[in-house]
Structure formats: structure tokens, C-alpha cells
Amino acid sequence: MRILFNLGMVFILVFPVSGQQRYRSANDVKEEWADYTAFQRDEMVSFCDFLFKEKHYERCLLTCFQFLYRFPEDPLRPAVLFTIARCYEGLENYQLAHRYYQQVMSLESESTSAHRASMYRDVYIDLLSGNSKRIISVTKSTNDPYLLTFQGYAFMKQLQWEGARTAFISAQQNFNHPHYNELMVPLFQIIENVQTVRTHNKYLIAATGLFIPGGGQFMLKDVNKGQGILASAGLLALAYNWSKTNAISGSNRFMGHQSLSMPSFKDINEGESVYALKKNDNLPSSVNPSSTHIKYTLPPLLLALGVYTGGFWKSFVDTKDKNRKLMEYYTLDRISEITPGRFLDFPEPKLIEIN
């Protein structure tokens, strides 16, 4: 019994000691924290990648900025900045997209895929925002096939067809691949078919405006302008017709022709065969008629002629702008079908590389 009691006491005293953990050193704590931090980093990167692929750009931006704040020196920083730029591009905030693409280019050397992808994207969003002149200026002396392709699109938007043709031919030669030759064919067809776009004949438009006030505007489909010119000219013509009035000298007026008019007097003495005027008054020796025709009809006539001539000349001048708009509509409509996005097949930095 005593032996069992001693064994029990030993078991009670030794078991808690064996269950205690050894106290960790500072290095052990540092390693565990590093593992935990690495796990958090990987989770944030995976979440950013998921949000970007699902096009949740606002939430992706928030997570990316949190990542940069917590891991400012992480080697994945250029890829995160590139993702931020892509998010802003997706949100059509091209100004901020420019800023972050340029940050990537400043961090990476020109030989890296991240630098080239950022450069291509930076020019591409200029094309999306309609900044064609900047694209033409930046890519003026380049031999890069992607930049030459974007330059060709910029020339097309500027309706500079020969420049577009030259840029596409140069891009095709530098690509030197059947795949890109196939992509270029529809672009050359756009340039060839531009001659088939129906435009207005400015002389026919001017002739229509010459015979009918506002007729040129009606031909150009500017119905509101045509109606305004026609109504103004018509009202002024009516004002010209209604503004005639005649009067004899003095304050008296006559209704008929002046040759049929006879002055009347109230102070006449009637005798047996003689009519005499009081105070020896005499009939006037002549009647002087006067007319207000010019005074009241000339202003509306001049205004009507001004509106008529102005409408005729405006239709002649507007024909050029109208034809340009027709060409721009044709170009933008075709570009919307054959977008420059088809050429965005270059390597881009990824948050998660899949081998």
C-alpha cells in the first residue's frame, strides 16, 4: 500500500512538469511571426488577384494600397503598382492610370516586361481618351510594332489615312508574323473603304440654300437651323408687305389715289350761285403727296436679305464640317468593331505567376 502511495505521488508531481512547454527564445518568436506575416502577405496577394480578375476594381484598389502600406519594400511592388494602374484604367480614370504606369516605368529597367507593358498601356489609354496628337508625337521615331500599331489608330482618328497606312505597314513588317498579318487586314480595309463614305456636295447644298431660305440646312439635316432661317425670312417678308402707307403733306390722310382727292373746308358761305370762303381763304394751288414706303419697308427688306444670304453662306461653309463628322462617325464605328485591344497580347506583370 505504501508503495502504491509513493508511485501515485511521483505520478502527480512528474506529469505536470512533463506537460509544460519549453519557453521560446526571441529567435523562435521572430520565426513564427515571419511565418504569420508571410501567410498574411500571400492572402492579400491572392485576394487582390481575385478582385482584379472579377473586375471589382474599387475593392482591389483598397487592398493593393493596404499591401503597399504593410509591405513597402516587397519585390512584388511593381506588379501591385501595375495592377493599380489597370484598375484605374478599368474605371476610366486615365489620369491616375498614367501616374501609376509611369511609376512602374521609373522602378523597372527598359529591358523588363513590366516596363514595356506599362509603356504600351500608357500609350493605349491615350488612344482611349482621344489624345491622338500625343500618341503621334511620342511614337514619331519608334520601330516598336505595338507602338506603331497604336500610332496607326491615332492617325485614323485624325483622318490622316496615308499616315495610318504607313504606320500599319511598318508595324506589320516589324511583327513579321502571320498572326499579326491577319489582324492587320481589316485595318487596311477600313482605309480602302473610306472612299465609299457618302458625303455632301457643297455646291448642291449652296444651290438649295440659294433657291429656298434655309434649304441648305435642311439638306444637311440641321432642321432647327433651317426652320429658323425660313421662319425669319418669311416674317420679315410679311413685315415688308404690311409696312406701306401714304399721306398728303400735313396731318390729313386720304384713302384713294391722290388725283381723286379734293380738300374739304368747313367755313363755306353758300349763296345763290357762288360759294365763297370766309376770310378770303383760297384753295391750295397744289397738293404734295408723300410716301413712307422706303422708311418702313427698307429695314425689314434688308434684314430678310441678310438672313437669306447668311443662311446660304452658312450652309456652304457647314458642308465641310458636316462631311468631316460623317468621316469621323465612319472611322469610330469601324474602330469600335476592330479595336486596338486586339493587340494587347504582350506579357504583363502578374500578382500570381502560374508556371
| Confidence at residue 86, expressed as pLDDT on a 0 to 100 scale | 94
Pairing mode, if any, of strands 289-291 and 275-277?
unpaired
Three-state DSSP state, 211 = helix
pLDDT at 354: 64
State the total domains in the chain. Answer: 1
How confident is residue 274, by pLDDT bands cut at 50, 70 and 90?
low
Per-residue pLDDT of 173-207, as tens digits, reads: 999 889 989 998 999 888 888 777 676 556 666 55
61 pLDDT exceeds 90? yes
Check whether 245 has a pLDDT greater than 90. no
Task: Supply the pLDDT for residue 295.
Answer: 58
90 falls within a domain? yes
Q: Taking 50 as the threshold, does the pLDDT of residue 30 lie above it?
A: no
In this structure, what CATH number is given to the domain that contains residue 108? 1.25.40.10
Nearest alpha-carbon partner for 330 in 167, 194, 199, 220: 194
Task: Note the pLDDT of residue 84.
Answer: 94
pLDDT value of residue 33: 42
248 pLDDT band, cuts 50/70/90, is very low
pLDDT more than 90, % of the chain: 25
Let me know if residue 52 belongs to a domain.
Answer: yes
Question: The whole model's pTM is what?
Answer: 0.65
Which residues have C-beta within 8 Å of that of residue 81, sequence separation ≥ 6? 68, 100, 103, 104, 107
**Domain assignment present for 88:** yes
In a domain, residue 117? The reply is yes
- Better-predicted residue by pLDDT, 59 or 283: 59
Residue 119 lies in a domain: yes
Cβ atoms within 10 Å, residue 54? 10
Predicted local distance difference test score (pLDDT) of residue 203: 60
User: Nearest CA to 175 among 163, 167, 164?
Assistant: 167
Q: If you average pLDDT over residues 328-336, what whole number do you get? A: 82
> Is 71 a member of any domain?
yes
Instruction: Say if 98 falls within a structural domain.
Output: yes
Show the domain range for 124.
34-129
Output 131 or 229, whichever has higher pLDDT.
131
pLDDT at 28 over 70: no
Residue 252's pLDDT is: 46
**pLDDT, position 151:** 92
Name the residue with higher pLDDT: 277 or 349.
349
CA 217 from centroid of its chain's CA atoms = 25
CB atoms < 10 A from the CB of 31, how many?
A: 12
325 or 109, greater pLDDT: 109
Tell me what pLDDT residue 227 has: 52
